Amino acid sequence: MNKISTNKAPAAIGPYSQAVKTGNLLFTSGQIALDPATGEIVGATITEQTEQVMKNLGAILEEAGVTYENAVKTVCFLADMNDFATFNEIYGKYFTGKPARSCVAVKTLPKNVLCEVEVIAEI
């Protein structure tokens, strides 16, 4: 297992890695809308936060030598399922290969953000 780390995405805020490679798979930890430089939440809307989540995931994927096109599965968490349509529109701009996906509403996310996304990608 190889750990993946980049300063272009937020540092882990707990005892975990940004991502790990094992075999021909990459597993990212869930990414939220944090600015990698400041550690502060970016944006107050689902649009702003989803865009930042995608930037963070893109930086981790890039560090691992893959792109969104390598994604085989995503897991998406929303604080409010009423944000689904807006989230989905932004998500679709990035995950054009249409990987398998789960998307669920949860009671609370870290730092009270509006969304979180994790990715499994093929290397």
- Positions marked active-site: 103
Burial class (CB in 10 A: 0-12, 13-18, 19+), 86: middle
Which of 115, 9, 20, 19 lies closest to 56 in space, CA to CA? 9
Answer yes or no: are the C-beta atoms of 33 and 55 closer than 8 Å: no
Cβ distance 97 to 68 under 8 Å? yes
